Copies of this chain bind each other. A is one copy, B any other.
Amino acid sequence: MTTLNSEKVFRDPILGFIHVDDSIILDLINSHEMQRLRRIKHLGVANSVFHGGEQSRFQHSLGVYEISRRMIQALDDNEKFANERHWDHENDLLVQAAALLHDVGHGAYSHTFEHLFDTVHEQFTQKIIVDPSTEVNAILKTVSNDFPERVAAVIGKSYPDKRVVQLISSQLDADRMDYLLRDAYYTGAEYGRYDIERILRLMRPIKDGFAFDIAGVHSIEDYVISRYQMYLQVYFHPVSRGMEVVLENLLIRAQDIFDKDPDNPIFFPIIRPIFALKNKIDIQDYISLDDSVFNTAFNIWQKVDDKILADLSKRFLDRKPLKSIVLNEKTKDLIPSLRKKIKDRGFDPKYYTGENDATDLPYESYSPKTGEEGIKFVYPDGQQVELSKLSPLVEAINGKESIDRRFFFPREMLSNPEINQLYLKYKKTY
């Protein structure tokens, strides 16, 4: 660790101040790859519904770093209450660098983008960290030759010290703790608030991880429910998903055009590689892509000759989401006929309809798939109990996936009285 002459702080509306006193962290923040995250919105298209939700992945990354820093401090402060091995300060920089960089490989309009181009942002994050062409890699190497690989291993969950991994990836990690508070603050949806100061105070080191003093059950319960509600109310919102479907279909159309006519000049140089190579794209070309590049493509494409591409681009820029109905037992049999009516109206269903499933597993006391365990509490005598055993509210959602399936179609179809009636009946549950 190279200590800075003077602590550097960043004013943060959610966490007060982000404190940096290690020059490696400051250099990483100032790197080309991290600065790119300023041009990628954290919530993708959700600002089409919650107009305040403009926060960037850059500020979220600073927040995750800061929370990881406070978690380390909390573990350190609270060791005295536990009969456990000390937090190893050798790991401080490793945890903080992994926290800061955990999203560095995020693509523009991330989730839609990944779906289309078969990219996995966690893999690109790790690539950027270990690829010798990046500034991030060069900075990490000043610590030690294998430091980039160690940071990547923490993010990839393969790092041997599970306590380190748990701070960055678990059901109560620095990532989730930041995005709940941040998304709640910026969207104005208050559900995401929970008492971070109290939760940190009650963190306790245990073997291979951390747990919480039994006094913290309700604070953590509140956090889990906050997350559950943010998913249902913000992240699942049918209108922003109506925008995602526009975006997805628009990129599918572009890809289809590219596949037939790879020299078409609408694919200007900076945007071409992703259509040409998808997840085989060169890492530097990948890094060149941000929300702005795609917005500019759509801005240009809204005036191209291809009617469908132009129309979808304009719908996206002008925020004209597709409308939707819930897909359930009662509606699923209606879709083929609905699709036909859409086609008869002149809309190609491939580009003007879509099915979209929003899913989240709000809490899992034990994951058979990953072997990951739930959030644990410790009694004064050392006994450990898992959250769902203590909270009937958490038990009520434990292991139960939240799902919202929808079928999307053009708003214009609502002029059909039959479809309009269907829409009014099934447009939303709540």
Contact = CB atoms under 8 A, between A and B. Distances in A.
Nearest to A184: B13
Contact of A392 (B13, B186, B400): B400
Interface stretch (A148-156, A161-169, A334-342, A421-429): A421-429
A88 interface: no
A222 B191 contact: yes
A270 B194 CA distance: 46
A393 B393 contact: yes
A47 B11 CA distance: 11
Interface stretch (A113-121, A211-219, A249-257, A322-330): A211-219
Interface in A47-62: 47, 50-52, 54-56, 58-59, 62
Interface residues of A, number: 85
Contact of A393 (B215, B293, B390, B397): B397
A191 B218 contact: yes
Interface stretch (A30-38, A93-101, A122-130, A349-357): A30-38
Given A32-B318, A400-B392, A11 B430 contact: no
B395 A188 contact: no
Given A6-B81, A218-B229, A292-B296, A56 B54 contact: yes
Contacts of A35: 317-319
Contacts of A291: 292
A287 B321 CA distance: 21
Contact of A300 (B12, B269, B300, B390): B269
Interface string A221-235: 110010011001100
9 contacts: A32-B318, A54-B56, A190-B193, A215-B430, A221-B229, A222-B229, A270-B296, A292-B296, A293-B299
Interface of A: 6, 9-14, 16-17, 30-32, 35-36, 38-39, 47, 50-52, 54-56, 58-59, 62, 80-81, 185-191, 193-195, 197-198, 201, 214-218, 221-222, 225, 228-229, 232-233, 268-270, 288, 290-293, 295-296, 299-300, 314, 317-320, 377, 380-381, 390, 392-393, 395-397, 400, 424-425, 428-430
Q: Which A-B residue pairs are the 8 nearest by beta carbons?
A: A396-B396, A13-B188, A292-B295, A292-B292, A296-B296, A217-B430, A54-B54, A13-B52
